[in-house]
Amino acid sequence: MRLLIDQVWGRIGIKQTNPLLQLYISDPRLKLSIKPPVLTVAQDRVELSIDATACRADVNQYDPIEFIRVCAARAREVVEEAIARIAEEGDVLAAVENRNPDAIAELARENGLDREVDVELVPGHLPDIDFRIVKGSRDFKEGKVAVELVQGHVKVNLRKGTVRIYFRQSPELHIYAVGSQIDLHG
């Protein structure tokens, strides 16, 4: 008799899920708060003062208070001169009664126009001119830069992979006895 051995190999099946790695990344950022510097410059300037009081006084132009004083003084002089003149004219008219026929002609001659006229068009004094330099200013205010770091984050999401192994077909061993003779000796 013979033995016939037949073998069927086993089959392995594999079920797997792939692993998955997901990274969620937020980048780091710098926040800058900037206050710019400021430079303020005021330029030098010149102050000019002109005093023309003496010039104007030469051509009879005065400030209001001085004008009042000058006019009051002139009025006083005119009144005193008028009183003196009226008194003289009274004396002259009295001479007419004393038989002086030329007294009225003399009076007309004295009260007539003056032959000399004094006209001033150009002032006798120059104006007082003065100036001064006023220094400008410079002001500097420093700027500032504030830096703030906002950190980035990395979020990791890992899904594990799996491997499952199973037999799709189990291994088999088939042994058959073929024939009926048994040889015990040999």
* 82-131 per-position pLDDT tens digit: 898 888 878 777 777 777 777 777 777 777 766 676 666 677 788 889 98
Q: What ranges do the domains of the chain cover?
A: 1-37+142-186
Residue of 78 and 114 predicted with greater confidence: 78
Cβ burial 81-93 (10 Å sphere, 16+ → b, else e): eeeeeeeeeeebe
What pLDDT is recorded for position 181?
A: 65
Quote the percentage of the chain above a pLDDT of 90. 35
Determine contact, residues 134/120, Cβ cutoff 8 Å. Answer: no
- Residue 36: pLDDT band by 50, 70, 90 thresholds? very high
Q: What is the pLDDT of residue 156?
A: 92
Longest dimension (CA), the chain: 219
Q: How far is CA 85 from CA 2, 73, 78, 88, 107, in A?
A: 189, 18, 10, 5, 10
Say which DSSP state 115 is in: S
How much is the pLDDT for 65?
86
pLDDT of residue 120: 64
Q: What is the pLDDT of residue 115?
A: 65
Q: What average pLDDT does the chain have?
A: 84
Ramachandran region of residue 89, left (φ > 0), alpha (ψ -120 to 50) or beta?
A: alpha
Residue-wise pLDDT for 134-169, tens only, equals 998 999 999 999 999 988 899 999 999 999 999 888
pLDDT score of 184:
62
| Rg over CA atoms, the chain | 67
Angstrom CA distances, 26 to 30, 32, 148, 152, 186, stand at 13, 18, 16, 5, 84
